[in-house]
Structure 1
Amino acid sequence: MIKLFIEKKEPYYIQFYRMIRQMIFDGKFQPGEHINETQLAKEYNVSKSPIREAVRILEKEGLLVADKSKMLVYKPTITDVEEIYYCRMALESFAVNLTTKLATDDELSKIEATLAETEAAISKKMEANSIIFLNEQFHQLILTFTKNNRLQKQVYDLKGLINYYRILNFQGNERAVEILEQHRRIFYYMKERDETNASAEMVNHLERDLKHLLQIMMDSTRNL
């Protein structure tokens, strides 16, 4: 079990939310596994209230699923992956279109700096989580610079599962380099202020992600 160092300055339920979420992402809680609130409360010597609140947030994000009286870790299906990625294609292609048109040069420079940080992280062979975070930041900055709160909320509602798939999608040799090159192609058109091609490259990038994820899932099923 991960050691959780309780900090009084932050609500307990937020700390437990982050801990359980990370354990799901790290595979320490497996898909379909039962999350036992009583056991967690006993393990960390707290009441069940903060655990229950953390679980509620994770259920809302889709990372936990209610099954009768139990709460189980989300188990991805091909239909789920396809539906979420089709939503991403629609929302994020529009986001990159808006940001290409509306972002200031300084904002575009921040996106470019993230790509440079990603390249450096790959060159230094940094841990996967650091590179995944930078990949997430690339998409997040594009969304932020749309300055469209409603669009941001639509993507945020999918964020838990997007991050879950992003980690799963990172599997494979040279995967970090492949994703970086795709991000660079998107940014090339953004810097040219070519919103049509920037949007097309975002869709292409997400289509490749989807294909890769489906292959991982099919391979996993065959190996069972």
Structure 2
Amino acid sequence: MRIVKPESLHLQTYAILKEEILEGAYRPGERVVEAKIANQLGISRGPVREAFRMLIQDGLLIYNDGFVRVYHPAVQDVIDLFQCRESLEALAINLAIEHITDEDKQKLQNNLELTYEAYEQKQTMELSKLDQAFHDIIIQVSKNKQLMELLENIRTKIHYMRITMIKGEFYPSFVKEHEKLVGFLLDGKVEEATNSMKVHIQKGLRGVLMYIGKVQSR
């Protein structure tokens, strides 16, 4: 962790803590102490307090029993988030068909190629990033700012759940599903693209719940 003085301290602190939480540096439910983090970063407690406030707003930290703790998702939280994600990303790909450019199409093709490479080499963390990037491209192409904002919070929490609850595991067919989605998107097939996105998200949820069930039964 390192602070660059000329830049806004609370934004730097927020970025550092958010990255650490999303990378699994803190355990779910672990208490985070304002004074300790301020000391580690060599700054006053004010910027840390503001960074905590932002992370609570993101849902990555929670205020519980007088203490600030790292978000500890329950199984129902996973279900709720995926249900929201299903509807919103189905809308995103629908809108993306209207607005996609040649540059966007190339971005999606490049993502698919890199995803296949990462999958063949079993690069779990890289797969996670590429999967996120794939969905981000479609969301950005939708050109709907409100939709982007709604999905940002969901996206962050799902990424965190993937790291903390399922350790970055993926179901094998997701790569081919991405390819199928791109095909429908490029061909302008609205109904097929929308339905395929819903099925894709539903399958992702089933995979997460299956993995959680295996871990809990050990």
Contact 2:99 2:142 in 1 (8 A): yes
Structure 1 residue 222 and structure 2 residue 208: aligned?
no
Question: Using the alignment, how far apart are the partners of 2:180 and 2:161 within structure 1?
Answer: 22
Kindly state the Cα deviation for residue 213 of structure 1 after the two structures are TM-superposed: 1.3
Question: Using the alignment, how far apart are the partners of 1:19 and 1:179 within structure 2?
Answer: 30
Kindly state the Cα deviation for residue 169 of structure 1 after the two structures are TM-superposed: 4.8
| Partner deviation per Cα, 1:169-224 (whole Å, 9 max, x = no partner) | 5644xx3753222211111111211111111111111111111111222233333x
Residue 126 of structure 2 is matched in structure 1 by 130
Query: Per the alignment, in what secondary structure is the counterpart of residue 7 of structure 1?
Result: coil
Residue 89 of structure 1 is matched in structure 2 by 86
- Change beyond 3 A, Cα 1:7–1:130: farther
Structure 1 residue 153 and structure 2 residue 149: aligned?
yes
State how many pairs are aligned: 217
Match of 2:136 among 132, 135, 140: 140
Match of 1:204 among 196, 199, 206: 199
Kindly state the Cα deviation for residue 88 of structure 1 after the two structures are TM-superposed: 0.5
Contact 1:96 1:202 in 2 (8 A): yes
Structure 1 residues 33-44: aligned runs within 5 Å: 33-44=30-41
Q: Which amino acid aligns with 2:151?
A: V
Structure 1 residue 103 and structure 2 residue 100: aligned?
yes
Query: Per the alignment, in what secondary structure is the counterpart of residue 34 of structure 1?
Result: coil
RMSD: 2.0
| Partner deviation per Cα, 1:129-151 (whole Å, 9 max, x = no partner) | 33212211111110111111121
**TM-score normalised by L of structure 1:** 0.87
Structure 1 residue 184 and structure 2 residue 179: aligned?
yes
Question: Using the alignment, how far apart are the partners of 2:63 and 2:118 within structure 1?
Answer: 38
Unaligned runs of 5+ in 1: none
Query: Per the alignment, in what secondary structure is the counterpart of residue 69 of structure 2?
Result: strand
